């Protein structure tokens, strides 16, 4: 009995010491799993490492959703992975089976990693609460909304639920979470952020602190995280899944505080852009995802972020109702986006396979619309991110 007490006390003291830390993030710098379960990737790097081809670099910039519960439902994606035409996949609830859910999902992620030419980023939106693909009804741990955690405002509680998420993702072979949301709860009637409980608080300092706890818990399990939705979606009045939203007269500079603080403390792996319009930040009124001023000038130059920028879903109607398929690709890449996300999960949007996106980008480079150097910039950022998970894999240079 005494030994149980001592162990319990030790765990409490360890947790309290973790919650007292206010410095640099516990970044993912430990060795990768033995397999790539990320799946079977050799750690023996050839010498010398060849230079990356244009085709290989473009492939790393593409992330797509898939059909069904297994690889058999996705022959075009499997072929694209074999050819290196996609660098990541995103999972949704539609990819979960009703029976043996965890085992079958793990088999799926392992198979995807086995067939791919380069190790994948396997992503999910597992924020907790309403935005929660891995639900308790499938046998996964219960989760809480960010707003509930913000109301509790307790380090141990936020770390506990973040740790449950991160542990689950690790067990399933998922290596990047599209969370935490660092939008402010500035508009309580926001139809896609506050109304769903996706924001921690209206106070940017509180948002920053909970995001740090959330990220640290993920990094402790070797899971990458993604801040969203830059430069701030909390003040919006419309849902960008359905339509464009203009925040020019609603947005507050305080919405940048979590980004500035988390970038400064070294917590940020990747940042996802919003499809919101802000005509003061971009006088051409491009949505942030397509805006050179917002991504390159504000995020990279002003805030000093040199990591990976991921677009929100390029099939959301805020983009597709106003920009064509090719135009949106060209604008996003020229704006500074590194990974283009096509979830194939938006009702009313055309499905876009990785090979089609890949071919379109390659044609733009060949025609001089996008420079190869611009592609190489994104490739190098993506490889640097992946090396946090796969430090010994011989990515082409």
pLDDT in tens, 52-79: 999 999 999 999 999 999 999 999 999 9
- Whole-structure pTM over 0.75, yes or no? yes
Q: Number of helices and strands (H, E) in the chain? A: 13, 12
H or E element in which residue 311 lies: none
Each domain of the chain, given as residue ranges in start order, spans 2-386
Helix (H, G, I), strand (E, B) or coil at 58: helix
Tokens of 174: 């998922």
Helix (H, G, I), strand (E, B) or coil at 121: strand
Enumerate the active-site residues: 241, 312
Question: Token pair 């992975």 is at which residue?
Answer: 81
The pLDDT tens digits for 13-47 are 344 445 754 445 555 533 333 334 343 344 454 46
Q: Under 8 Å CB-to-CB from 349, ≥6 apart: which residues?
A: 315, 316, 317, 320
2-386: CATH architecture: Alpha-Beta Barrel (3.20)
Cβ neighbour number for residue 152 with a 10 Å cutoff: 14
The pLDDT tens digits for 63-121 are 999 999 999 999 999 999 999 999 999 999 999 999 999 999 999 999 999 999 999 99
Q: Under 8 Å CB-to-CB from 68, ≥6 apart: which residues?
A: 74, 94, 95
Give me the phi and psi of 332, to 5 degrees please.
-65, -45
The pLDDT tens digits for 186-229 are 999 999 999 999 999 999 999 999 999 999 999 999 999 999 99
CA angle 112, 269, 56 (to 5 degrees): 45
- 3-state DSSP percent of the chain in helix, strand and coil, to 5: 45, 10, 45
């Amino acid at each position: 009995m005494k030994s149980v007490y001592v162990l319990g006390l030790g765990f409490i003291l360890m947790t309290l010491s973790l919650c007292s830390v206010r410095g640099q993030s516990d970044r993912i710098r430990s060795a990768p799993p033995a397999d790539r379960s990320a799946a079977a990737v050799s750690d023996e790097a050839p010498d010398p490492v060849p230079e990356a081809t244009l085709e290989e670099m473009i492939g790393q910039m593409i992330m797509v959703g898939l059909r069904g519960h297994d690889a058999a439902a996705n022959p075009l994606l499997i072929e694209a992975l074999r050819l290196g035409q996609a660098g990541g996949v995103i999972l949704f609830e539609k990819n979960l089976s009703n029976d043996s859910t965890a085992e079958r999902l793990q088999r799926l992620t392992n198979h995807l990693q086995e067939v791919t030419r380069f190790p994948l980023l396997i992503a999910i939106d597992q924020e907790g609460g309403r935005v929660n693909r891995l639900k308790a009804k499938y046998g996964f741990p219960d989760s809480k909304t960010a707003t509930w955690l913000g109301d509790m405002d307790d380090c141990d509680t936020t770390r506990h639920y973040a740790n449950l998420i991160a542990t689950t993702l690790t067990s399933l072979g998922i290596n990047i979470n599209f969370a935490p949301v660092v939008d402010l709860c500035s508009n309580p009637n926001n139809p896609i952020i506050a109304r769903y409980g996706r924001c921690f608080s209206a106070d940017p300092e509180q948002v920053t602190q909970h995001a740090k706890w959330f990220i640290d818990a993920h990094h402790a399990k070797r899971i990458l995280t993604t801040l969203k939705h830059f430069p701030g979606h909390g003040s919006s009045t419309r849902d960008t899944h359905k339509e464009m939203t203009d925040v020019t007269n609603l947005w507050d500079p305080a919405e940048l505080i979590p980004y500035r603080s988390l970038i400064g403390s070294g917590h940020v792996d990747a940042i996802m852009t919003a499809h919101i319009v802000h005509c003061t930040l971009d006088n051409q009124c491009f949505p942030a995802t397509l805006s050179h001023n917002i991504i390159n000038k504000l995020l990279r130059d002003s805030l000093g972020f040199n990591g990976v920028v991921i677009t929100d879903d390029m099939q959301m109607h805020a983009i597709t109702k106003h920009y064509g398929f090719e135009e949106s690709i060209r604008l996003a890449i020229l704006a500074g986006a590194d990974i283009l996300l096509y979830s194939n999960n938006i009702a009313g949007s055309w499905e876009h396979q990785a090979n089609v996106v890949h071919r379109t980008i390659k044609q733009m480079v060949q025609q001089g619309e996008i420079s190869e150097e611009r592609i190489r910039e994104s490739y190098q950022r993506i490889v640097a991110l992946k090396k946090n998970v796969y430090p010994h894999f011989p990515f082409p240079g």
